[in-house]
Chain A
Amino acid sequence: DGGITQSPKYLFRKEGQNVTLSCEQNLNHDAMYWYRQDPGQGLRLIYYSQIVNDFQKGDIAEGYSVSREKKESFPLTVTSAQKNPTAFYLCASSSPGQVSSGANVLTFGAGSRLTVL
């Protein structure tokens, strides 16, 4: 079945460490996204990528970095510069087209829960 795989599901980090969250999709979607969700809050966009080797900052990109070397993969690195990284991180993808045909809809991975010790 096609879908999005995020790993690890749970991650613990010491302050000052960088960590990388993996996101792989086999949906052949062009666009990929990283969102952050804090308890009781909505999703906030960190970075997004429309095509390979191109990505744009979202609303809360500071302290994060991404790469898009392959269509299927969009890893997120949470750097030590991110002051409050404990959160639920969600990767998503979408393809252009008409919503009525099932396109232009976000599909999510199961998420990665990061805790800073």
Chain B
Amino acid sequence: RKEVEQDPGPFNVPEGATVAFNCTYSNSASQSFFWYRQDCRKEPKLLMSVYSSGNEDGRFTAQLNRASQYISLLIRDSKLSDSATYLCVVNGGNFNKFYFGSGTKLNVKP
């Protein structure tokens, strides 16, 4: 079983749509959770950390459900510039090991 699993997509949505990505992780001892954005042929960049209480940054909302070992990312009012691959990242209990999902590709269409 993979440490982190994501729906690979692609998710094809029109501008202005709301889209949600989900991610599950297998290690119940995981301590830190993140969403990264990766543009084509570029390095991943931190989009937001995910806190137990849930957190919001503008159009982006991240939530964590420790009991179900599940992380989500909600993007409201999608922009063309949101088109990218979104990576779910989990710190695996040992703070120095990070595990990556395979990413969910988002295409926002005009």
Contacts and interface: CB of A to CB of B under 8 A. Distances in A.
A50 B96 contact: yes
Interface residues of A, number: 26
B43 A110 contact: yes
Contacts of A94: 96, 98
Contacts, number: 56
B96 A42 contact: no
A87 interface: no
30 contacts: A31-B96, A40-B102, A42-B4, A42-B87, A42-B102, A42-B103, A43-B44, A43-B87, A45-B98, A48-B96, A48-B97, A50-B96, A88-B41, A94-B96, A94-B98, A99-B32, A99-B49, A104-B95, A105-B32, A105-B34, A105-B49, A106-B34, A106-B36, A106-B44, A106-B46, A106-B98, A107-B46, A108-B45, A110-B43, A111-B42
Interface of A: 31, 33, 35, 40-45, 48, 50, 88, 90, 94, 96, 99-100, 104-111, 113
